[in-house]
Every structure is written in structure tokens, then in C-alpha cells.
Amino acid sequence: MRSAAALPAPHLAPRRGNSGPIVRIAALQKTFGDIEAIRHLSFEVADGEFLGVLGPSGCGKSTLLMMIAGLIGPSAGEIRIKDARVTGPRREVGVVFQSPVLLPWRTVLQNVLFPIELLKLPRSQYRRRAMDLLRMAKIDDFAAVLPRQLSGGMRQRVAICRALVHDPSILLMDEPFSALDAITRDEMAVELQRIWQVNRKTVIFVTHSIREAAFLSDRVVVMGRRPATVIDELAIDLPRPRAIAVTEDETFNRLVRHLRKAIEASHAQ
Amino acid sequence: MRNRIGKRAASIAWPILVTALLLLAWEISVRTMGIRSIILPPPSAVFEAMAERHDLLLAHLWPSLYLTMLGFGLSVVGGIIVAVLITYSAIIRKGFYPVIVVSQVIPKISIAPLFIVWFGTGTMSSLLLAFLIAFFPMTINAAMGFESVDEDIHRMARTFMGSSWQIFWKIRMPNALPYIFAGMKISITLAIIGVIVSEFVASQEGIGYLIKLAGGLLDTPLMLAAIAWLSISGLALYAIIAGVESWAVYWQPPSEAVGSGGGG
């Protein structure tokens, strides 16, 4: 893991276990006109935790993530990051969207450095970090290439590097692999786990794939149909690093069955 | 690679061959049918006029080209500025934009005599007409380019706390570039039309004036020579813009549309 060692030291520091929740969501509500998207939603995310947010399509998961990112405001309730109320986008948050949203006129490296430019941070200083991230995501050979020359999976890797470049403490991921084929998707899940183990960010990973949520997360929060609220919560106590083969184990499948039942139960109501 | 160059060469060679054949057919039919030069001179006579009277032709071509480029340049700058206003000002977008669009039903060429009344027969009328015709596609295209930024890109920039100033220069502007060039390619041909029409209506110089004058004198070879020079200049201006485009909009895949039918 030469690549991992090249990253600045703070990311390798062990997490502090008892530092309390880094994200607190309390009695959150969101309505769009007459439509109630989120109703009385509350949960907490521990520092360094990988939290999966699982729910059916269109249940308001993305809305929730956009609110944590500070892009849209809640109708009631509040979101706190490190005890500060979220009122707009914050520096300590990095977002990976469903599509890679790379700028086609910028090379891979320039795309990764885009947040540094927007945040007016010293570009020369972060260039090395960007290269280290690209190396970690195994796309450093493509640093000088334009996005149109990359495959879908590679583009999403670039997007993950971009979300991490300014060293945020929280990474928000909105179904980042949903546009990829099944094989690439599994590969990316393993890669993401590896990147997360190196960087130790708090991750909130929104997905509608039960398998993906169970494979990646320390804990899964299940959201019901609109209006979204937390209907179940499940700790995933599988050792890391997890290989894709873990998804064939009986323990894993028991967890998946549990999550599926929770979702089905919410549909039956 | 060699195949690509071969295709490119073929895509240029075929139209040239067809043009040459058409000119040849024209030459032969004029000669064999004995058509008088006043009605339709053979291509050879037109080439002769182009070469022999190039002093006269160029003397009239330059002012027209100068006004075309000036009118075009103004329409590009003006169009982009108005497009920015449309993008950022709700009042202009909701109030002026529809008026600009609806005003396009006015055939702008019909305004040429009015400009002569207002600004006289000088260069001002030609310049204004060129600008007026070229301005609209420029504005529409640039505005489309500024506004067609993907919602996700906008969101992405906002999560990294990008200011509107940064979003304009780092996202909207490069996003609009292909649209701006598309607008420029339309505008340059329209600017030429504006200048020529204005010179037809009233002018003492310019290639439009020369075409009209040659028509009056029944000097058809000179007329066609003037039209040929004008077409060549128009083509050259268009090619310059297309060349700058392929350099500036480097991230767009090279157009494979031409010559891609071979399949081999």
C-alpha cells in the first residue's frame, strides 16, 4: 500500500471512538408544496462511521442528502454537523452525485482540483494530494486525459477523488454506482471500502440496493415510502475488509433478508 | 490513422470533383448552345474577369468585408452581453427576451431603406443592418449556452461553495463556448447579407454596389466575378471561425459526421 502511505498523515490516524455523533438529524420535515417528502426523520451518524441509507426509489433519500449538503433547507426540524446547524453548503462536506458530473473541458486532474479552485485554496499545495488520491483510486495514469475518454466507472472514481480532495470530514454519496453495470458496481463497492479504510471519513451512502448497503455499511438506516421516515436500523457486524465473496455467506444473507423484510413491511402498510 | 486521413481526403475530394464537373458542363453547354455572354458567360470568362479586373473587384470587396467583420464583431460582443443579461436578470428574461424573439418576424432586410433615411447612404447604414441581422442568432445561441448548464453541475459547484462569479467564468462560459461558435457561424453569413443588401439599396462603394452596377451595365462576367469573390470571402470567414472553434472547443469529439459512411 505505497499509495496509501503517500497520503497526508492525519487521514491515517485512528478514529476516536467516543467523540460523539458528527451528524445529528432531528425531527426533520420537508414538504414540496402539498407533497410531504420527509416526515419526522431523526438519526445520528458517528464520527468515522459508514452509514447506509436504504430506501425505495423516490422515497426522499436524495432530498435528505441534499439537505445534509446544505443545498436545500428543511421545512421543519434541523440538521447539525459538528454541533453547528446546517444553513448552507459547508467546507467539511464532500458530495458524490448519481452521475459523475465532471466538467468535459477539464482533464481528470483539473476536475479533481476544481473544488480547490472554488474554495480558493492553494492549488500547488493540493496538487500532490490530488495525485495521491488518483493513485489510490488507480486512475493516476489518466490524470491528463479528458473525461470523455474514460469509462463510466472511471469517471465515478474521478468524482470520488474530487469529493475528497479538500479533505472533508463527511462524504455524502447519492446512489453513486446506480448508473454502472453490475460487475463494475461490485468492483466499485470494494474500491470504495478500500478508499474509506484509508481515509476514515464519515460516509453517508444513499442507495436503493439492499446488497450494496449491507456490503458497505457499518450500520444501515432503512427509510420507508414517501413521506420518508426511519422504519428500521441494522448494525452490520461483518469484519473488514470485506471481499465480494462475503455476499454469498449465510450471515450476510440473513442481514439482507432482514432489510428486505423491513422494506416489504413498510410497503404493506 | 491512415484510414482516417484517407477518409478526410475523400470527403474533400468528392465535392471538388463534383464542382469541377458542374463547371465543365456549364462551359460546354454555354459554348455548344451559343448562349450570349450577357445572359450567361462561360466559367472561363468569369475567371478571366476575376483575374483581369481584380483591382476593381478588390477595391470594392474590402469595404464590404470590413463592414461585415465589424458588424459581425459587434453582434458577437453585443449578443454575448445581452445573453448574460438574459441569464442573470429576471426582468430582461421575462420582459425583453420575448420581445426580441417576436421581433424576429420582421424581415430585417425590409428595414434597410429606413436606415438609409436615418443614417444616409454611408457606411453607417450597412454596418447597422449587418449588426441587426447577425445579432439575433448570436444572442439566442449564447443565452442557450449559458442556461443549458446541467443542474447537477450547478449543484456540484454549490456544494464546493462556488460563488456566482466562479460559476459564470468556470462553468457557464466554457459551457456556452460551443453554442457561441454555432451562433458565430450563422451570424457571419448573415452579416454579409446585411452589408450586401444595404449596398444594393444605396451606396457608392462595396461589392454589393459593384454587382448592381455591373448588372446595370449588362457586364454579366463582372457581375459573376464579383459574386464569386464574395462567395470565396464568405467561405474563408466561415472557415476561420470553424478553425478557431476546433481549437477553442478542444473537448468536443472531432466531428465524424463527414465521410463516416464508408464503414470500412
Instruction: Inform me whether the C-beta atom of residue B55 falls under 8 Å from chain A C-beta atoms.
Output: no
* Residue bearing the bigger pLDDT, A111 or A231: A111
Concatenate the DSSP letters of all residues of B35-88 into one string: --TTT---HHHHHHHHHHTHHHHHHHHHHHHHHHHHHHHHHHHHHHHHHHHHHH
Q: How far is the CA of B112 from the CAs of A227, B210, B213, B227, in angstroms? A: 62, 18, 19, 21
- The predicted structure's pLDDT at residue A8: 45
pLDDT score at A47:
93
Of A35, A99, A167, the closest CA to residue B154 belongs to: A99
pLDDT of the residue at B3: 67
Contact A146 B251 (CB under 8 A): yes
pLDDT tops 80 at residue A20 = no
* Measured distance CA(A11)–CA(A233) in Å, rounded: 28
C-alpha cell belonging to residue A19: 467523540
Alpha-carbon dihedral angle through residues A151, A154, A155, A158, given to the nearest 10 degrees: -160
A11 pLDDT higher than 80: no
DSSP line for B165-204: HHHIIIIIHHHHHHHHHHHHHHHHHHHHHHHHHHHHHS-S
CATH superfamily of domain region B38-248: MetI-like (1.10.3720.10)
CA B114 to chain centroid, in Å, comes to 24
Same domain flag for A175 and A264 = yes
The sheet with strand A219-223 has its strands ordered as A93-96, A170-174, A202-207, A50-54, A219-223, A230-235
- Spell out the residues 6+ positions from residue B106 whose beta carbon is closer than 8 angstroms to its own: none
- pLDDT confidence tier of residue A2, bands split at 50, 70 and 90: very low
Q: Name the percent of chain A lying above pLDDT 90.
A: 63
Total tally of structural domains belonging to chain A: 2
Contact B51, B58 (CB under 8 A): no
Place of cell 407533497: A35
Higher pLDDT, B175 or A264: B175
Residues A179 and A269 in one domain: yes
Same domain, yes or no, for A144 and A187? no
Which residue, A111, A142, A167, sits at the end of a domain?
A167
Query: Is residue A109 in some structural domain?
Result: yes
The grid coordinates listed for B97 are: 427576451
Cβ–Cβ of B170/A166 closer than 8 Å? no
A187 and A120 in one domain?
Answer: no
**pLDDT tier, A218 (very low <50, low <70, confident <90, very high otherwise):** very high
Q: What is the pLDDT of residue B2?
A: 57
Does one domain contain both A174 and A144? no
Nearest residue on chain B to A167, alpha-carbon basis: B160
Distance in angstroms between the alpha carbons of the first and the last residue of chain B: 13
Put simply, whether A33 touches B (Cβ < 8 Å) is: no
A89 chain-B contacts, CB cut-off 8 A: 158-161
- Among chain B residues, CA nearest to A172: B159
Q: Kindly tell me if the per-residue pLDDT of A16 is higher than 80.
A: no
Query: Where are the strands (E) in B95-193, listed by range?
Result: none
Instruction: Search chain B and give the residue with CA nearest A106.
Output: B251
Contact call for residues A20 and A179 (beta carbons, < 8 A): no
Q: Which of residues 87-116 of A touch B (CB under 8 A)?
A: 89-91, 93-95, 97-99, 101, 103-105, 114-115
Q: pLDDT tens-digit profile of A90-135?
A: 999 999 999 999 999 999 999 999 999 999 999 999 999 999 999 9
A181 and A147 housed in the same domain: no
Is A152 found in the same domain as A117?
Answer: yes
| CA A173 to mean position of chain CA atoms | 3
The listed range with the strongest mean pLDDT (A181-190, A192-201, A203-212, B118-127) is A203-212
Q: Looking at the domain assignment, is residue A32 inside a domain?
A: no
Same domain (yes/no): A188, A210: yes
Chosen domain end from A167, A188, A222: A167
Amino acid B254: pLDDT: 65
What residues of chain A lie within 8 A of the CB of B161, using their CB?
Answer: 89-91, 118-119
Residues A150 and A269 in one domain: no
Q: What is the pLDDT of residue B143?
A: 94
Res. A137: pLDDT tops 70: yes
What CATH number should be reported for the domain holding residue A62? Answer: 3.40.50.300
Which residues of B are less than 8 Å from A71 in CB distance?
155, 158-159
Report yes or no on A191 lying in a domain: yes
What does each C-alpha distance from A185 to A51, A142, A179, B81, B133 come to in angstroms?
18, 20, 9, 45, 52
Residue of chain B nearest A166, judged by CA positions: B160
**Residue A198's pLDDT is what?**
86
**ipTM (interface predicted TM):** 0.83
Cα-based angle B150, B151, B156 (whole degrees, multiple of 5): 100
For chain B, what are the domain ranges? Answer: 1-35, 38-248
Nearest by CB to residue A117, choosing from B152, B170, B174, is B170
Interface membership of B52 toward A (CB under 8 Å): no
Local confidence pLDDT in tens for the 264 residues of chain B = 556 777 778 888 999 999 999 999 999 999 999 889 889 999 999 999 999 999 999 999 999 999 999 999 999 999 999 999 999 999 999 998 888 888 888 888 888 889 889 988 878 999 999 999 999 999 999 999 999 999 999 999 999 999 999 999 999 999 999 999 999 999 999 999 999 999 998 888 999 999 999 999 999 999 999 999 999 999 999 999 999 999 999 998 765 433 333 332
Q: Average pLDDT over chain A, rounded to whole?
A: 88
Q: Using CB atoms, pick whichever of A89, A98, A99 lies closest to residue B158.
A: A89
The answer on A202 and A137 residing in a single domain is no
As a whole number of angstroms, the distance between CA B72 and CA B80 comes to 12
Contact A229, A40 (CB under 8 A): yes
Structure confidence at residue B47 (pLDDT): 94
Of A116, A140, A167, the domain-final residue: A167
Q: What is the pLDDT of residues A153-175, one digit of tens each?
A: 999 999 999 999 999 999 999 99
Strands (E), chain A: 21-32, 35-46, 50-54, 76-81, 84-85, 93-96, 170-174, 202-207, 219-223, 230-235
Both A221 and A106 in one domain: the answer is no
pLDDT digits (tens, 9 = 90+) for A254-263: 999 999 998 8
Identify the domain containing residue A110 by its residue range.
Answer: 102-167
| pTM of the model as a whole | 0.84
| End-to-end Cα distance, chain A | 49
pLDDT for B255 equals 56
The per-residue pLDDT for A158 is 95
- Cβ atoms of residues B190 and B68 within 8 Å: no
Q: With an 8 Å Cβ cutoff, are B166 and A117 in contact?
A: yes
Task: Give a yes or no: residue A16 inside a domain.
Answer: no
B157 touches chain A (CB under 8 A): yes
Q: Is the peptide bond preceding residue B43 cis, with omega within 30 degrees of 0?
A: no
Q: Three-class SS of residue A141?
A: helix
Same domain for A115 and A138: yes
